[in-house]
Amino acid sequence: MSTSVGVVVPAYRPDPDRLRSYLCALRDTVDPATIRVELDASAAATTPTLPDWVKVNVVHRRRGKGGAITDGFEALSTDVLAFADADGATPADSLATVIEPVAGHGGLAAGSRRHPAATIRSHQTLARRFLGDGFAWAARRLLDARLYDYQCGAKAIAAPAWEAVRPHLYEPGFAWDIELVAVTAALDYPVREVPVVWEDQPGSTVSPVGDGLAMARGLLVARHRARLLQDDRLHRLFDDGNGDALVDRDRLADERGVDGE
């Protein structure tokens, strides 16, 4: 029996031509059962015209990357759930290599720009590279999952792992990636790192300073939540509650549909 794949593309102020080209490449290369674009847009923004075989969910508020991907994953009913950033920095064939080990063995696969076997076609700015390298260095020392790269915008997770992980994800922004990795490892699901081809794209919505500070905080919080799942006594002592998980927060009924095979 073949494994069904759903791909979510979170988008905020995307380049329409680049997005359309990338979606076509995903369809032709990955051949998923569903491609779903989760678009955060202001009420006054013009929704880009996309192919009719793409599911588009437009939300007129800023959910953040993690909130958008979580909503997209919740709308899928496929065996594998994957996401890729809308700028197409990770080519479609690289996303296919990220999906492959999950389709065969389950767990989580994380695309990696910093893996020694990765191919970098064009680099980020020096400031973003410096902050990214520092973040990865710190994460390797704080988390059980020892990766070269935690933030690459290409990951895939098997449906059973997602069902276990989803109640423990709280970060709506860019720190969602690190929380996903930390929680998956804490629940004893395999986390595999897959080198990718990667090309930096102009117009990133990541702020090196503001989002960098948020991700540093997110790393510490992710470590704390992972330790709680492992019943660490010290972290239990200092736990003051997590608030509402992303999947438990109020959602408007018209923001979500269900897609599958």
Whole-prediction pTM: 0.89
Residue 40 belongs to domain with CATH number: 3.90.550.10
C-alpha dist (Å) from residue 118 to 105, 215, 220? 22, 23, 27
Read off the pLDDT of residues 92-121 as tens digits, 9 standing for 90 and up: 999 999 999 999 899 999 999 999 999 988
Q: Identify whether 213 is part of a domain.
A: yes
DSSP for 110-169, written as a single string: EEESSSTT-EEEEPPPHHHHHHHHHHHHHHHHHSSS--S-S--SEEEEEHHHHHHHGGG-
Mean pLDDT on 21-32? 97
Contact 147, 195 (CB under 8 A): no
Q: What total number of domains does the chain contain?
A: 1
Q: Identify whether 245 is part of a domain.
A: no
Q: Identify whether 212 is part of a domain.
A: yes
Predicted pLDDT of residue 261:
45
Q: How far apart are CA 99 and CA 5, in angstroms?
A: 8
- Given a cut of 60, whether residue 153 has pLDDT beyond it is yes
Q: Identify whether 34 is part of a domain.
A: yes
Q: What percent of the chain has pLDDT over 70?
A: 85
Domain of residue 154, residue span: 5-240
Q: Identify whether 259 is part of a domain.
A: no
Predicted pLDDT of residue 12:
93
Q: Identify whether 257 is part of a domain.
A: no
Q: Identify whether 246 is part of a domain.
A: no
Read off the pLDDT of residues 44-94 as tens digits, 9 standing for 90 and up: 677 889 999 999 999 999 999 999 999 999 999 999 999 999 999 999 999
Q: Identify whether 180 is part of a domain.
A: yes
